[in-house]
């Protein structure tokens, strides 16, 4: 790593001081003169015909400026080619889950808006509701969507000859596992400020993961030309996938501003966060595999049944991607996967760290642990026999370049030695994962655009439309630009996206921000550097080839005396006749193909990441209480641009993975959430975190800027299966559903006792 000055160093995050000092502005901190407060009236019933909404009394309340219901909202549902949302702004005809948006109020303050909500009278005719995919598929089940049946999406894909492979397998294994609904629990609830001006232009301040995409979607939903929607990104207080699509609060806030002619601010309360956002897709996963007697992975069949909730967001895509990705960890040629995701009268589900992969990795890696044991191998041995190698073409079409999976498995195995523990309460579990970096969506633009401007005093400004939603993107981009231009981090600025000024960006599909956005920044910085050198050559009357840029200075190679500061050249560029600030441009466009929409086959990413984790647990056999003694997590992320940030990502991911594995579940009763608050819903806290050792495996990937791939997802994906396997290692029982609570562990122990 010595060849870089800034890249590869654990410099502090560019937004750290602002956030720590409470000075960072979030959407709710934005304000405009005459700003109103908006609140939403939600259905208390999981399924009901809306007979009549009487807003008369609420409208007469002093301080109420507007009340909207479905009749005030544009009719067509939001549609965008890559996100098949079918939620209308307000429920039409029927309320389909507890929390469904029925009406909204804008008033001078929150108290008045709240009072107005209470004055709205809604007459309902309750309808039979359905709460599980199994029930929703039964003949005669209530139909949740506007038309058709309850199947929100289904897929079936085959690689190789699955039946023949199973036929020649020596051993066939089968398991059924189940995952739960997990809420993102980001600290900053959904919030926005919308201001529709007298010229018919909407400006909206949001904290989105995909400001460009949400802007286009919002314009389409509202029936406004895209050019009339300005999207200003604020700091994002956590997102984890939950803020990647257009959520109802945005068009509602916009409509309230359009109706009142005044700015309107809205923010979910925590209960709304639990009942009406897009939590993790719960799945029932049936997995069957065939192995040769010496442990070669021959065939795999997966059947997934998932719960879509009442409206469509990314559910079907999550089921497909979640099912396909874990397969790429192994050299298995014969695969059949099918999945169904089904409407029910619960809140819609959506993207959450892992995009379905956490659920399916939990299933596959738990299943493989059993396979290894039954084949008489250690879990590592089985994996090392079958894992994907650099240069492989996987069954799903991944052209694997760098792949540090072997090092990852070896590293974590070394750290926590298997077979050494002999105790009735302690156990070790291992799991592996793979993820794609930039997941091309179509044959159209699949990259990123950035500009790097050099202003007076040699200040470097990065103009990118990519979003920093807490993952640290701005710091990574700033390090890349600083590295290319030979300046310190303090000289680099990277403002938040504003659609008036920053270029269009793809959403943060997969983990594309560093590889694609970062590459654009690097190219833009290189372009700016070329322009600087050319100008300096003119100023110094030197040949551009003889010049070098280092430590904020441009000088003639070998003549350290003769030189110009970056500031001098930048200033000359602006103030010379016909001058203007140097602006470098970078366009990233990866050499990838979109996956085939039917078969989901294809090499849609320029690079792939891998990881492996070992967890050591100690379990109280009386109470089922589990204590994590150690986690060792090794990750092939390519070059770590900022090792501390990468470790932070891994540790944060592990926290979410522990919640998924052990404690978190949104509990429903007849469609109503029972624990919509952070007391009854158990997110791991700092005090719950075990000792974690992170190991960064850094093969240099030539397809990526500075060799850096990605790191976002694996931390979250690995803990549930690693924990599941550790529990088995300790107790000899399998808890085949998440979260693996003490109660479930005790029940398994009881059953084991009965069986024995």
Distance CA 136, CA 562 (A): 77
- Least distance to its own copies, CB of residue 200, Å: 8
Question: Could you give the CA distance from residue 714 to residue 357 in angstroms, rounded to a whole number?
Answer: 9
| Full 3-state SS string of 242-260 | CCCCCCCHHHHHHHHHHHH
The token pair that represents 378 in the structure block: 């250690």
- Binding-site member from 10, 25, 118, 677 for its own copies (CB under 8 A): 25
By beta-carbon proximity to its own copies, the closer residue of 531 and 630 is 531
Q: Is 569 in the site for its own copies (CB under 8 A)?
A: no
The H or E element that residue 632 is part of is strand 626-636
Calpha distance 84→97 (Å, rounded): 19
Nearest to 276 by CA among 369, 184, 347, 366: 347
Cβ(165)–Cβ(333) below 8 Å? yes
Query: What is the nearest approach in angstroms of its own copies to the Cβ of residue 591?
Result: 10
C-beta closer to its own copies: residue 377 or 587: 587
Confirm or reject binding of residue 32 to its own copies (CB under 8 A). yes
**Could you tell me the smallest distance in angstroms from the CB atom of residue 457 to its own copies?**
4
DSSP string, 315-359: HHHHHHHHHHGGGGGB---EEEEEEEEEE-SS---B--TTTTHHH
Q: Is 17 in the site for its own copies (CB under 8 A)?
A: yes
Report helix, strand or coil for 149.
coil
Task: Tell which phi-psi region holds residue 22, choosing left (phi > 0), alpha (psi between -120 and 50) or beta.
Answer: left
Quick note: the x/- pattern for its own copies over 715-734, rule CB under 8 A, is --------------------
| Residue choice 114, 128, 261, 391 for contact with its own copies (CB under 8 A) | 261
Instruction: Supply the DSSP symbol for 49.
Output: E
CA-to-CA distance for 411 and 283, rounded, in angstroms?
32
Q: Is 59 in the site for its own copies (CB under 8 A)?
A: no
Residues 615-634, one symbol each (x = binds its own copies by CB under 8 A, - = not), give --------------------
Shortest distance in whole angstroms from residue 445 CB to its own copies: 4
* Of 339, 321, 330, 341, nearest in space to 300 by CA: 330
Nearer to its own copies, 278 or 513 (CB): 513
Indicate the helix (H) or strand (E) that contains 111.
helix 110-119
- The residue among 619, 617, 620, 692 whose CA lies nearest residue 427 is 617
Q: Residue 585, interface with its own copies (CB under 8 A)?
A: yes
Least distance (Å) between residue 23 CB and its own copies: 6
Shortest reach from residue 448's CB to its own copies, in Å: 9
Decide if residue 29 touches its own copies (CB under 8 A).
yes
Chain positions 490 to 549 lying near its own copies, rule: CB under 8 A, are 491, 493, 495, 498-501, 503-504
| Contact residue for its own copies among 3, 33, 685, 755 (CB under 8 A) | 33
Residues 76, 139, 223, 227: which binds its own copies (CB under 8 A)?
227
Applying CB under 8 A, the span of 289-297, 385-393, 445-453, 554-562 interacting with its own copies comes to 445-453
Name the minimum Å distance from CB 474 to its own copies. 12
Say what the alpha-carbon torsion angle 559, 560, 566, 569 is, to the nearest 10 degrees.
-30
CA distance 220 to 209: 18
Say how far apart CA 594 and CA 443 lie, in whole Å. 6
How many residues bind its own copies, per CB under 8 A? 54
Beta-bridge partner residues of 283: 306
Cα 25 from Cα 212, distance rounded (Å): 20
**Residue 79 binding its own copies, by CB under 8 A:** no
Q: DSSP code of 596?
A: P
Compare residues 32 and 689 and give the one whose CB is closer to its own copies: 32
Binding mask 174-213 for its own copies (x = CB under 8 A): -----------------------xxx-x------------
Interacting residues with its own copies between 452 and 471 (CB under 8 A)? 455-459, 461, 463
CB of 635 to its own copies, least distance (A): 30
Under the criterion CB under 8 A, does residue 589 sit at the interface with its own copies?
yes
- Rg, C-alpha atoms of the chain: 27
User: Which of 10, 18, 417, 550 touches its own copies (CB under 8 A)?
Assistant: 18
Torsions phi, psi of 646, nearest 5?
A: -65, -45
Establish if 14 lies at the interface with its own copies (CB under 8 A): yes
Largest CA distance in the chain: 90
DSSP letter, residue 506: -
Shortest distance, position 584 Cβ to its own copies, whole Å? 13
Contacts of 531 (CB under 8 A, 6+ apart): 573, 582, 584
Question: Is the CB of 449 or the CB of 641 nearer to its own copies?
Answer: 449
List 125's β-bridge partners, or say none. 49
Cα distances (Å, whole numbers) of residue 109 to 26, 50, 63, 94, 511:
19, 28, 8, 29, 40
For position 576 contacting its own copies by CB under 8 A, the verdict is yes
Give the range of 44-52, 278-286, 489-497, 615-623 binding its own copies by CB under 8 A.
489-497
Question: Whose Cβ is closer to its own copies: residue 180's or residue 605's?
Answer: 605
Q: Which is nearer to its own copies, 450 or 717 (CB)?
A: 450
Binding status of residue 562 toward its own copies by CB under 8 A: no
Which residue in 279, 290, 397, 446 binds its own copies (CB under 8 A)?
A: 446
Interface with its own copies includes 225 (CB under 8 A)? yes
HEC profile of 528-561: HHHHHHHHHHHHHCCCHHHEEEECCEEEECCEEE
CB of 574 to its own copies, least distance (A): 5
Q: Closest CB to its own copies among 133 and 465?
A: 465
Assess contact for 581 and 569: CB atoms under 8 A: no
Q: Which is nearer to its own copies, 81 or 543 (CB)?
A: 81
The three-state secondary structure class of 734 is coil
Q: Report yes or no: 208 and 214 within 8 Å, Cβ to Cβ.
A: yes
- Which is nearer to its own copies, 18 or 149 (by Cβ)? 18
| Shortest reach from residue 351's CB to its own copies, in Å | 22
Is 6 or 136 the residue whose CB approaches its own copies more closely? 6
**Comparing C-alpha atoms, which of 302, 352, 305, 350 is closest to residue 324?**
302
Shorter beta-carbon distance to its own copies: residue 137 or 587:
587
Residues 329-348 within binding reach of its own copies (CB under 8 A): none
Specify which residues 300 forms β-bridges with.
Answer: 289, 335
- To the nearest whole angstrom, how small is the minimum distance from the Cβ of residue 495 to its own copies? 5
Where along the sequence are the contacts to its own copies (CB under 8 A)? 14, 17-18, 20-21, 23, 25, 29, 31-33, 197-199, 201, 216, 225-228, 261, 443-447, 449, 455-459, 461, 463, 491, 493, 495, 498-501, 503-504, 574-581, 585, 587, 589
């Amino acid at each position: 790593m010595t060849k870089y000055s800034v890249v590869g160093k654990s410099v502090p995050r560019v937004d750290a001081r602002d956030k720590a000092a409470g000075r960072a502005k979030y959407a709710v901190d934005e304000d405009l003169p005459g700003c109103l407060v908006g609140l939403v009236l939600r259905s208390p019933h999981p399924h009901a015909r809306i007979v009549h909404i009487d807003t008369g009394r609420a409208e007469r309340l002093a301080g109420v400026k507007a009340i909207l219901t479905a009749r005030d909202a544009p009719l067509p549902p939001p549609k965008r080619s890559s996100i098949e949302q079918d939620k209308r702004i307000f429920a039409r005809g029927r309320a389909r889950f507890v929390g469904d948006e029925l009406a909204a109020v804008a008033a001078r303050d929150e108290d008045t808006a709240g009072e107005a909500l209470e004055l709205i009278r809604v007459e309902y005719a309750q309808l039979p509701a359905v709460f599980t995919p199994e029930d929703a598929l039964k003949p005669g089940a209530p139909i949740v969507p506007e038309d058709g049946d309850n199947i929100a999406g289904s897929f079936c894909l085959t690689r190789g000859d699955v039946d023949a492979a199973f036929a020649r397998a020596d051993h066939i294994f089968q398991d059924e596992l189940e995952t739960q609904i997990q809420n993102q629990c980001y600290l900053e609830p959904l919030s926005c400020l919308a201001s529709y001006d007298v010229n018919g232009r909407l400006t909206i301040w949001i904290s989105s993961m995909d400001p460009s995409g949400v802007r286009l979607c919002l314009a389409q939903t509202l029936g406004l030309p895209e050019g009339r929607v300005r999207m200003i990104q604020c700091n994002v207080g956590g997102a984890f996938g939950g803020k990647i699509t257009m959520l109802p609060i945005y068009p509602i806030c916009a409509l309230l501003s359009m109706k009142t002619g005044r700015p309107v601010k809205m923010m979910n309360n925590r209960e709304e966060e639990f009942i009406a956002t897009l939590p993790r897709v719960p799945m029932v996963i049936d997995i069957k595999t065939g192995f040769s007697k010496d442990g070669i992975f021959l065939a795999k069949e997966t059947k997934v049944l998932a719960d879509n909730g009442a409206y469509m967001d990314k559910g079907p895509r999550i089921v497909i991607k979640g099912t396909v990705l874990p397969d790429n960890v192994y050299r298995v040629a014969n695969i059949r996967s099918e999945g169904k995701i089904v409407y029910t009268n619960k809140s819609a589900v959506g993207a959450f760290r892992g995009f379905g992969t956490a659920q399916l990795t939990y299933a596959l890696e738990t299943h493989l642990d059993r396979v290894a044991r039954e084949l008489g191998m250690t879990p590592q041995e089985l994996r090392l026999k079958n894992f994907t190698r650099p240069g492989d073409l996987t069954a799903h079409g991944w052209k694997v370049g760098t792949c540090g999976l072997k090092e990852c498995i070896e590293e974590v195995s070394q750290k926590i030695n298997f077979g050494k523990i002999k105790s009735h309460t302690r156990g070790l579990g291992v799991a592996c994962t793979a993820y794609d970096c930039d997941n091309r969506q179509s044959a159209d633009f699949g990259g990123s655009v950035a500009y790097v401007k050099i202003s007076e005093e040699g200040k470097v400004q990065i103009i990118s439309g990519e979003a920093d939603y807490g993952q640290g993107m701005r710091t990574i981009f700033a390090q890349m630009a600083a590295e290319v231009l030979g300046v310190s981090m303090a000289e680099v600025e990277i403002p938040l996206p504003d659609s008036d000024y920053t270029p269009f960006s793809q959403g943060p599909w997969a983990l594309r921000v560093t590889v694609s956005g970062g590459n654009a920044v690097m190219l833009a910085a290189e372009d700016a550097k070329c322009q600087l050198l050319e100008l300096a050559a003119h100023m110094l009357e030197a040949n551009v080839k003889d010049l070098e840029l280092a430590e904020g200075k441009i000088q003639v190679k070998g003549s350290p005396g003769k030189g110009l500061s970056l500031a001098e050249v930048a200033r000359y560029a602006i103030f010379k006749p016909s001058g203007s600030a140097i602006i470098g441009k970078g366009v990233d466009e990866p050499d990838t193909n979109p996956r085939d929409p039917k078969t989901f086959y294809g090499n849609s990413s320029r690079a792939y990441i891998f990881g492996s984790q070992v967890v050591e647990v100690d379990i109280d056999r009386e109470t089922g209480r589990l204590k994590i003694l150690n986690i060792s997590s090794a990750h092939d992320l390519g070059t770590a641009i900022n090792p501390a940030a990468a470790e932070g990502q891994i540790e944060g991911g592990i926290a979410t993975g522990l919640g998924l594995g052990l404690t978190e579940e949104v509990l429903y009763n007849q469609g109503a959430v029972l624990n919509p608050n952070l007391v009854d819903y158990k997110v791991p806290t700092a005090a719950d975190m075990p000792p974690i050792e992170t190991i960064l495996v850094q093969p240099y990937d030539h397809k990526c800027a500075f060799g850096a791939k990605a790191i976002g997802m694996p931390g979250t994906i690995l803990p549930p299966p690693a924990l599941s396997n550790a529990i088995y290692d300790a107790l000899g029982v399998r808890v085949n559903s998440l979260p693996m609570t003490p109660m479930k562990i005790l029940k398994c122990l009881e059953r084991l006792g009965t069986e024995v």
